[in-house]
Structure 1
Amino acid sequence: MKYGILTFDEPERDTSRKIIHIDMDAFYASVEVRENPSLRGKPVIIARHPKENGGRGVVATASYEARKFGIHSAMSAQKAYELCPDGIFVSGNFELYRSISEEIRAIFKRYTDLIQPLSLDEAYLDITENKINLNSATLIAQRIQKEIYYELGLTCSAGVSYNKFLAKLASDFKKPSGITVIPPDDAHGFLTTLPIEKYYGVGKKSVEKMHALGIFNGQDLFDQNEMELVSHFGKMGHSLYRKVRGIDDSAVVADRTRKSVGKEKTFLDDLKSEEEVTQSLRQIANQTFASLKKSQKHGKTVVLKIRYNDFSTFTRRKTFPEYIQDADELFVSALRIFEEEGSVSKGIRLLGITVTGLDSLLFENIPLKLWDRQKTEIEKETADGDEA
């Protein structure tokens, strides 16, 4: 620093990491098309029809056919209807979307535990060190795309680079079903030719302000002095000065709080008898309960998932008054759900059992003897009377 003049050291790039950003293609709409193939090729809009709710509501997402009419997420359903009166409005099944999102993350976990979900349909993966010891991030991204497609019947786009900012930009570059790789040597050229409104994190108001300052693309941003950017945009100015130089050291932060434990199995040949289903559910229940014990967790809610051979997916959950105590109890609980609402008539390609609403085993409720229970209830009634 010189007297009276604040200067910044030129930042250095860290290009040692390998980051993938996966973004599902029109996720909610694609799930609805998968569940109902008659919707394929049609403008599908995930929102309640404005005629059903007085014009209220917003679009969650829309198929690519609907997007050709200018429809996008966060648009009012009424505006979407005006743009595309023949659009097919679907209220959405968010329980199903969450279930499929968990399946997608299970595919990610085959490669790394460093997964940072941004929403149900996108996530960062740090595969610098990965479970299959594959040195190519591009090959891993391609494998993830193929597994999501063949196992779930859905497509995604992938961005591959050495930091989160570039990977996020890259995943949006070739949609749908695309993959874009930005190696360190290509980062400068990619960033400087990109329109400023394409920079992730730059909102409409900031774009207007940048245009007023003569900043229309990455090269214009690159040419700006850091102090001037900070004076105009505060902390964002400092961040953009670094990002246009391909610098983003933010880590992929994994959410390590387990909210559920489950196992599922996709069958090479569809299950067509109740005996096959019973045998498979017992096996999956054993595996699920083993994972619960390993995680030192237990729960009261059992979720059964069935995927039929036409890709239609069925999920039902049941919450019990007490924690599931062993694998046999888990199996019986799942089997009862199947007997009440499942069917083998269409052929079953996938079964899954999940336990949700998990608590630590340290907080297990210990049954009281009858005398202790009565004593406790008397003490509680006395305490309630004192408070009154």
Structure 2
Amino acid sequence: MDTRTPLIVVSGRDPGTAGAAASLLKAGTIVVHHDLRELAQGLVRRTVTTVDDRRDTPLELAHGCVSCTLREDLLPLLRSLHRRSNVDRIVLRLDPQLEPEAVCWAIEHVVVADVVGQIDGPAARDVRVDAVVTCLDAATWLDDASGDEEVSTTPDDERTVAQVVVGQVEFADALVVRPGADGWQQARLHAVLTRLAPDAPVVWSATPDVEALLLRIPPTARRGEISGAYSPLLRGQPPLDDDCGVRLLEFAAQRPFHPERLHEAIDVLLDGVIRTRGRVWVATQPDTALLIESAGGGLRVAHAGPWLASMTPEQLAEAPDTRLAMAALRWDDTYGDRDTSLVVLVHDADPEAIFGALGEALLTDDEFAHPELWPMWDDPFGDHHRDPCTDDGVDAGTRADAQPNTER
């Protein structure tokens, strides 16, 4: 029997997020919130609310880092709340700037140590994520998800608003949408949501019954599960047809990209596109796959780990069976499992232009026939993605790690 305390994570930039979390408050439930509005003054305010009490605690910004503060306060707090006999459920209301995937990753992996009376370990020893609920406003979400405005929570936070809001929806087990007045925009938003989070039940209401919504979450929900670089790119069964101009595109190739041509073509994924995610094979990096993710005008390029074909026997022994099985279906005698697979969610872009730009960035027949030349080409996707469009030569949307970044 799982004796861990259930945890409901409520996220989103819609003001209704506070009401959604509060609606879950009842005897035995405790609501935790960290307010980042005074971040510029070096303060985070933690609020812990029960049906009988509300306590506000100011916290100094540890190491000048939001994530450090939340990890050093939130994770030990979750473990301590589990030990309270009067706490049956925890509701964690995230600040609008926070992404639930990064928080769930920290709950699962970051070790809480040196706490009296506790065995060192992650908060997941004591709490389990039962649901992630995301709240959004139909009147503003599409504009946020397709733009390039930066969040700027801290000086070194280079995420865009689009990356945050798309991540909040994509990771959700259930969605609460505040209806808008524009019927066409609402129809387009519905088409996006059913493709971005196809398993998530949706309630369109400014005053939702969140408890009832939780009961509609299907068994297939991820409930805090973190996707890896080789996880399926299409979760659930999203519609693949066109609806209000919204469509999922699948691009696959069995030959590598030319690094410089891919770098030039990648801009096609940043205009009229809600989301791109996938693994790519770049000719100059034969041992490592690259993970490409975009949301609106924000781009992330990361190393996705070695191809199976370049792994040591020890690494192969630890590879998931599902990845081995999928690779076996398309294994090439020369290049093994190396390939490209991208899924692109468009809402205002020409699919043929995307397919054309990506197709032209692949190696030509002549280039593919001379692999001895590949290492000699310049590679903008080296240790750091060099972008000639930025003053410092480094793309502001790029991260060098393939895990959710908990050190923003």
Structure 1-normalised TM-score? Answer: 0.26
Comparing both structures, which one devotes a greater share of its residues to helix?
A: 1
- Give the greater-gyration-radius structure (CA): 1
More strand as a share of residues: 2
Q: TM-score of the superposition, structure 2-length normalised?
A: 0.25
